[in-house]
Chain A
Amino acid sequence: QVQLVQSGAEVKKPGASVKVSCKASGYTFTDYYIHWVRQAPGQGLEWMGWINPNSGGTNYAQKFQGRVTMTRDTSITTSYMELSRLRSDDTAVYYCARGGSMTPADYWGQGTLVTVSS
Chain B
Amino acid sequence: DIQMTQSPSSLSASVGDRVTITCQASQDITNYLNWYQQKPGKAPKLLIYDASNLKTGVPSRFSGSGSGTDFSFTITSLQPEDIATYYCQQYDNLPQTFGQGTKVEVK
Binding site for B on A (CB under 8 A): 35, 37, 44-47, 49, 59, 61-63, 95, 97, 102-106, 108-111
Of the A-B pairs whose beta carbons lie under 8 Å apart in the complex, a sample of 5, sorted by A's number, is A45-B89, A47-B97, A95-B44, A104-B46, A111-B43
How many B residues have CB within 8 A of the partner chain?
Answer: 22
**Are A104 and B34 in contact (CB-based, < 8 A)?**
yes
Residues of A within 8 A of B96 (CB): 35, 47
Residues of A within 8 A of B100 (CB): 44
Q: B29-72, CB under 8 A of A: which get 1 and which 0? A: 00010101010000111100110000100000000000000000
A111 CA / B49 CA spacing, docked (Å)? 22
**By DSSP majority rule, is chain A's interface helix, strand, loop, or mixed?**
mixed
Residues of A within 8 A of B101 (CB): 44-45
Given contacts A95-B43, A111-B43, contact A106 B55 (CB under 8 A): yes
Of all A-B residue pairs in the complex, the 7 with the closest CB atoms, nearest first, are A108-B43, A61-B95, A47-B96, A104-B49, A45-B98, A104-B34, A44-B101
**Are A109 and B43 in contact (CB-based, < 8 A)?**
yes
A46, A63, A104: which has the most chain B beta carbons within 10 Å? A104
Contacts across chains A and B counted by CB atoms under 8 Å: 52
A35, A37, A45: which has the most chain B beta carbons within 10 Å? A45
Could you tell me which residues of chain B, from 60 to 107, have a CB within 8 Å of some CB in chain A? 87, 89, 91, 94-101
Residues of B within 8 A of A108 (CB): 43-45
- Which residue of chain B has the shortest Cβ distance to A49 in the bound complex? B95
**Are A102 and B89 in contact (CB-based, < 8 A)?**
no
Residues of B within 8 A of A104 (CB): 34, 46, 49-50, 89, 91
Which of B34, B49, B98 contacts A46 (CB under 8 A)?
B98
**Are B94 and A61 in contact (CB-based, < 8 A)?**
yes
Residues of A within 8 A of B46 (CB): 104-106
Further contacts, 18 of them, CB under 8 A, given A45-B38, A59-B94, A106-B49: A35-B96, A44-B98, A44-B100, A45-B101, A47-B95, A47-B98, A63-B95, A95-B43, A95-B44, A97-B44, A102-B32, A103-B91, A104-B34, A104-B89, A105-B46, A106-B46, A108-B44, A109-B43
